[in-house]
A and B are shown apart, each in its own frame.
Chain A
Amino acid sequence: MNNARGTVFKYNDNVDTDVIIPARYLNTPDAKELAKHCMEDIDPEFVNNANPGDIIVAGWNFGCGSSREHAPLAIKTVGISAVIAKSFARIFYRNAINIGLPILECEAAAEAIENGDEVEVNFDEGTITNLTKGETYQAEPFPAFIQEIIAAGGLLPSLRRNA
């Protein structure tokens, strides 16, 4: 997997899928359309300020609520290169892996990193480097089974490969 590097958008605990992509926009499966409204109800300026490669950092239980895959899809389509959180809600975690949005659980990183910090992520090693603060944090690497899904480019390609 490639490394990620970008500016951090920092959020608190329990960022739910309703604020990541409000249901009023769920009348289309079109990723580009969804991305226009990403984080709208928590941070209306997010889509204007985020650049491809930028990173979301959040607290506990990121992505709680609905099972809508539109949420990780919108984040991915905005160009976010990684989401780092203290923990993820389980359906969001699953969906992110299944669609190939890189995510990392790391309490230390989520605690220390601040909004606007420049951060680099090495996915193979699970290391997160805060270039602004000159700190490095270690995330749990994915289990092999999940690494295979990510390497294949998502769940469905991995199923095709193993069929």
Chain B
Amino acid sequence: MPMTMTQKILAAHAGQDEVRPGQLIMAELDGVLGNDITTPVAIREFEKAGFDNVADADRINIVLDHFVPNKDIKAAQQSAACRKFAKTHDIPNFFDVGKMGIEHALLPEQGIVTAGDCIIGADSHTCTYGALGAFSTGVGSTDMAAGMATGKAWFKVPEAIKVELTGELPPYVTGKDVILTLIGQIGVDGALYRSLEFTGPGVKSLSMDDRLCICNMAIEAGAKNGIFPVDEVTEAYLEGRSRRPWTKYEADPDAEYIQSITMDLSQLEPVTAWPHLPENVHSAAEAPIEVDQVVIGSCTNGRMEDMEAAWEILKGRQVKDGVRVIVIPATMQIYKECLKKGIIEDLIDAGCVVSTPTCGPCLGGYMGILAEEERCISTTNRNFVGRMGHVTSEVYLASPYTAAASAITGVITDPRTLMQTETPVETEKEAAA
């Protein structure tokens, strides 16, 4: 029976020649992930069930990223529980403050996840690693505990939706606009229980950062996973980075898909998802809605290209009075590169604050909580009721270009309009040179 890319990876990890949609399988895991919110629950379950040892410490990854540097005493207790567990079980891939980054930016960057892998993570955005050609999906803490104890997880083999990409993205249109547009088309449960398999001639024009962003939000369409084929872009990314040899899986040409969608990248425009669902997608140019806060970062858009996009817009310009702009490079490596390139200095001069890596504001944890009826344009992934703070506050999802352009004008703005109409001034740094 012909198989999709996801089905092939699952078959290989279940030790079977083929699998069929709907089949329940037990699969070997290449990686198990947890963070400072989900790992403490997993540790409790692991210990309550009476497990003494982990199956393979090298395959466990614990990243403190949601509430660190610890936001309060309770969060500190959770970090401490993770730290103790990692030490007890000699888990090498334990990432504490100083080494941590936002998990879904950190693991690909560090070469810990790679093409052909089968990975679970107790974080819904674990689907990000599909960008590398891996099967990767979000689970809960009990699944994480089971994965740590046995090295395996059960899955129901998913059907797939094929997303055929053609053309190339126009300037100032990014992977974020691709995935938001797709979610706008199919809805927040449009891919429920299914794989989103991206394919077609348009794939090659998408950078790895774009692909990571697209797969990251597969869950916002309800998908079990998102996945890209392994091509030259993937291989260039993995070369010298992947800690393990990788395997390239390809969908059979006659693989069956439950639905096919074609998307011409050249026809896309900057978009925003309005409250309170990621499917509520509108053109960025549609309405100049006033914003109080701008967040640029997260596992969706905290990577180097995202920082550079924000920089391109904000450099030499000034954030609108009354708007608070929080920029969060997703890992220490990205943070350092931003420092080296002078990005952080220019962002500060523009009127932004730059934080060390954290998930913080994305989930309303800390570092940018919204007050009653405040509005934020954010490069994060969810705009649910109360997501970033007060239950009456609002989150609009957008790309780093669109978020940065809106920071300058104080209203939701198409970045192309801003770049056509306004010229930046000489920065302090340039003036001094």
Contacts and interface: CB of A to CB of B under 8 A. Distances in A.
B8 interface: no
A155 B143 CA distance: 8
Contacts of A154: 142
Interface in A23-42: 23-24, 26-29, 41-42
Contacts of B74: 27-28
Contact of B188 (A61, A94, A155): A61
Contact of A29 (B44, B139, B219, B391): B44
Nearest to B224: A90
B139 A91 contact: yes
**Most chain A beta-carbon contacts within 10 A, residue among B145, B189, B277:** B189
B322 interface: no
B385 A26 contact: no
Interface in B137-169: 138-143, 145-146, 149-150, 154
A42 B392 CA distance: 11
Given A14-B188, A27-B75, A27-B78, A98 B140 contact: yes
B403 to A, nearest CB: 20
Given A89-B189, A156-B145, A67 B140 contact: yes
B384 A65 contact: yes
Contacts of A14: 188-189, 277
A18 B122 CA distance: 16
Contact of A69 (B49, B77, B126, B141): B141
A60 B24 contact: no
A61 B142 CA distance: 21
Contacts of A143: 24
B48 interface: yes
Given A61-B189, A89-B222, A18 B386 contact: yes
The size bracket of the interface on A is 35 or more
A79 interface: no
The size bracket of the interface on B is 35 or more
B3 to A, nearest CB: 20
Contact of B189 (A24, A87, A91): A87
Contact of A90 (B46, B145, B193): B193
A41 B192 contact: no
A67 B122 CA distance: 6
A160 B149 CA distance: 10
B67 A27 contact: yes
A87 B188 CA distance: 12
A95 B222 CA distance: 15
Contact of A99 (B38, B75, B77, B142): B142
Interface string A146-163: 000000001111011000
B382 A27 contact: no
Given A67-B38, A159-B150, A41 B386 contact: yes
B357 interface: no
B387 to A, nearest CB: 5
Contact of B222 (A23, A24, A64): A64
B26 to A, nearest CB: 10
B222 A16 contact: no
A159 B188 contact: no
A4 interface: no
A91 B140 contact: yes
A68 interface: yes
B37 interface: yes
Given A28-B78, A69-B141, A91-B138, A18 B384 contact: yes
A60 B189 contact: yes
Interface string B165-188: 000000000000000000000001
Interface in A123-163: 143, 145, 154-157, 159-160
A41 B189 contact: no
B333 interface: no
A14 B189 CA distance: 8
Contact of B142 (A16, A41, A69, A87): A69
A160 B142 contact: no
A3 interface: no
**Most chain A beta-carbon contacts within 10 A, residue among B141, B142, B277, B387:** B142
A15 to B, nearest CB: 10
Contacts of A89: 189, 192, 222
3 smallest beta-carbon distances between A and B, as pairs: A95-B140, A156-B49, A27-B74
Given A91-B140, A156-B146, 12 more contacts: A18-B364, A18-B386, A19-B385, A27-B78, A64-B189, A65-B124, A65-B384, A69-B142, A72-B140, A94-B139, A95-B140, A156-B51
Interface of B: 24, 37-38, 40-41, 44-46, 48-51, 66-67, 71-72, 74-75, 77-78, 121-124, 126, 138-143, 145-146, 149-150, 154, 188-189, 192-193, 219, 222, 224, 277, 363-365, 382, 384-387, 391
19 contacts: A18-B364, A23-B37, A28-B78, A29-B41, A29-B78, A64-B188, A65-B382, A66-B382, A67-B121, A67-B122, A67-B123, A67-B140, A72-B140, A89-B222, A90-B193, A90-B224, A95-B140, A145-B24, A155-B142
